[in-house]
Structure 1
């Protein structure tokens, strides 16, 4: 990643996970969303990612 400390990165990863999920790439969506939760655990984006992960199962 070019800017790993960017404040926008959690939101960008969340959107990327959503896009993969909508495109039917469920494994990639899970991978991105899990990475988001691990890297940015106390963010709103991580909370939304956890909800999305539950919906993907």
Structure 2
């Protein structure tokens, strides 16, 4: 049994995720995105997969690529419907629509956050955004 044929150790998985996250925090969004994408290819069933997908959306958002961010956040919602990142992904979709000047879709998304996740911090942020929008 060669080392390459064995499944990777869980701590390797966590370390790779952490490296991608630190790269994001340091502002290197292109590199962080590549690291998160590699992570998802290597560990598609990881408990951190929904988080990695969310941070890919954040990388696009931070680069001002709001349409792509919306699509990546949507993957979190579709692929990991019960994940704890879903309310955040939905909320950030709303913010991305606002950045694009699309207040109608932003409002729809914010209302969905409030309706589907009423007791979350994301719902509280969505409520404030809805009050601020005409």
| TM-score relative to the length of structure 1 | 0.92
Q: Deviations over 1:21-56 (max 9, x none)?
A: 121101000011101100000000000000011111
Q: Deviations over 1:9-31 (max 9, x none)?
A: 00111111011012110100001
Separation of aligned partners in 1, 2:124 and 2:108: 15
| Structure 1 outlier segments of 4+, above 6 Å | none
* 1:55 pairs with 2:132: yes
Residue number in structure 1 paired with 2:91: 14
* Structure 1 unmatched ranges of 5 or more: none
* Aligned residues: CA RMSD: 0.8
* Structure 2 unmatched ranges of 5 or more: 1-77
| TM-score relative to the length of structure 2 | 0.41
